[in-house]
Chain A
Amino acid sequence: MQTVKMVVTGPFSAGKTEFIQSVSEIDVVSTERKISSSGERTVKESTTVAMDFGRITVDDDLVLYLFGTPGQKRFDFMWEILSEGMLGFIVMVDSTRPETYREARSILETFRAYAPTPYVVAANKQDKEDAWEIEDMRHALRLDPKVKLLPCIATDRDSVKKVLLELLYSILTEMENGKR
């Protein structure tokens, strides 16, 4: 049995767990915990503390694992471990919370330094009324035009599939360009 993995990362409450949950064939093995800090609890009730873990069986011989990183900064020691051997990574950003864009950018840079793998950025929660427009987000996140920034609704399986496929296309393109 061969296994490959992808990492889903991003700031606190960006929708990483939701994203993995939407496509995983197993219930996401998540290490959620009720939030103790009152500031963060106003955002949501529970948070991922070690990692999320989802699975997609491809065929008899191949399994794809999806790892979600914990969003709170104090768990960032996990990041490097989780990033080891990844095919690529997805940076989730909550489109409705511009105050998290800078951190998203910083997480992106950190992961980029770990490994030379392709990545895409998912502008999540695009179903919400106060979600920023993609092109505005590109400016705010200071993303190069070459970087894929994709609209996403993590609760919607088709939307998640699209993001995963775009990442896989990038991986394929990079292989064909002979970079890896």
Chain B
Amino acid sequence: MALRGNLRDITFTQILNLINLAKKTGTLVVEGPGETAQVSFREGKLAYAQVEKEESRLAVILNKNKKLSANQYRAIVQHGSNISDKELGLMLINAGYISKDDILLSLQQHCMDIAHRMFTWVEGFFRFENDMLPPDNRINVRLDLENLIIEGSRQLREWEHLQDEIPSLDMSLKFADRPGANLKNINLSVEEWRVVSYINIKNTMHQIAHTTKMNDLEIRRIIFGLLQAGLVEIVRPAGQPVTGSMRSFPTENKEEQKSLVNRLIDRIRSL
């Protein structure tokens, strides 16, 4: 049976578990929020990962991991653009610039970074292509999935917890009006500041997430921290009209509504 579906129903962690147990070989393609990732496996081990549209050439990865100097990197990009990763790797090792371990560790880190990012995707179509292997000009790694799966489960629990705490992102935030809550004396991270700067009763958490380019998990994580610190409160967004079908009273007239509530009060007192 084809392994395909939506992350809403089967999480990335569950898919990894399955690939691990069945020792599968092939490539998992996941259409995440705004980006598509491809993760390849050989006999149940992670072999390669890349995100479409993101440069994943060896030189770029080594540069990101500070294994190449700026000059070395520039030289490779200028002159070596048409040699394969495998050839480049051999050249760098033979020239004594870096070790084989440096290369493998950098690639492993690169793959794990992508996997970590995918744990935060709670929605998106995926399919597993049985015969699709990573491009053969790329260097493969052999990464056991167990550790990733454990980390993924931990994140999943966090996600479930955060969903319990903040079930709906259609609500807004406002600063808690409790005395002593003073933003000036609090150390916030850059991400937290970005969220804080959009806190306004008119902005729903969805809108804040969208503006700050955070996914559902990231925004919930930050808001949960702010809630725990007692800095913010969850409130209904301002100016949201109450729709016709949501009307609670059979009458629009305020005085009639009050009289109705008073009748209810009298009746229940008399029970």
Chain A interface (Cβ < 8 Å from any Cβ of B): 2-4, 23, 56, 58-59, 62, 64, 84-87, 102-103, 105-106, 109-110, 112-113, 115-117, 144, 157, 161, 164-165, 168-169, 171-172, 175-176
- With contacts A58-B263, A62-B260, A64-B264 taken as known, whether A116 is within 8 angstroms of B242 at the C-beta atoms is yes
Q: How far is the CA of A15 from the CA of B167 in the complex (A)?
A: 23
**Contact A87/B263 with A106-B164, A112-B236 known, Cβ cut-off 8 Å:** no
**Residue B183 at the chain A interface, CB threshold 8 Å:** no
Residues of A within 8 A of B236 (CB): 112-113, 116
CB distance from A136 to the nearest CB of B (A): 19
Residues of A within 8 A of B263 (CB): 58-59, 62
**Interface set, chain B 227-270, CB cutoff 8 A to A:** 233-234, 236, 240, 242, 245-251, 254, 257-258, 260-265, 267-269
B 166-182 contacts with A by CB, 8 A:
166-168, 170-171
Chain B residues whose C-beta falls within 8 Å of the C-beta of A105 in the assembled complex: 164-165
B171 touches A112 (CB 8 A): yes
The reply to whether B250 and A161 form a contact with Cβ atoms under 8 Å apart is no
Complex CA–CA separation, A23 to B265 (angstroms)? 13
Interface residues of B in 85-143 (CB under 8 A from A): none
CB-defined contacts of B168 to chain A, threshold 8 Å: 109-110, 113
Bound-state Cα–Cα, A62 to B165, Å: 37
Closest residue of chain B to A103 (Cβ to Cβ) is: B164
Total inter-chain residue pairs, C-beta < 8 Å: 88
A161 and B268 in contact, given A58-B263, A175-B258 (Cβ under 8 angstroms): yes
What is the CA–CA distance of A86 and B248 in the complex, to the nearest angstrom? 5
Most chain B C-beta atoms within 10 Å of own C-beta, residue among A62, A85, A161: A85
Looking at the assembled complex, report how far the CB atom of A27 sits from the nearest CB atom of chain B, in whole angstroms: 16
B interface, CB within 8 angstroms of A: 163-168, 170-171, 233-234, 236, 240, 242, 245-251, 254, 257-258, 260-265, 267-269, 271
> Shortest Cβ distance from A2 into chain B, in angstroms?
4
On chain B, the residues within 8 Å of A62 by CB distance are: 260, 263-264
Question: How far, in whole Å, are A60 and B234 apart by their CA atoms in the complex?
Answer: 40
Q: Which residue of A lies closest to B249 (CB)?
A: A4
A112 to B163, CA, bound (A): 15
Of A58, A84, A116, the contact of B267 (CB 8 Å cutoff) = A58
* A179 CB to nearest chain B CB (Å): 10
CB pair B167–A164 under 8 Å, yes or no, is no
B271:A85 contact, CB within 8 angstroms: no
**8 tightest A-B CB contacts, nearest first:** A113-B168, A106-B164, A2-B250, A58-B267, A110-B167, A87-B248, A168-B265, A116-B236
Residues on B with C-beta less than 8 A from A86 are 248
Closest beta carbon of chain A to B268's beta carbon, Å: 5
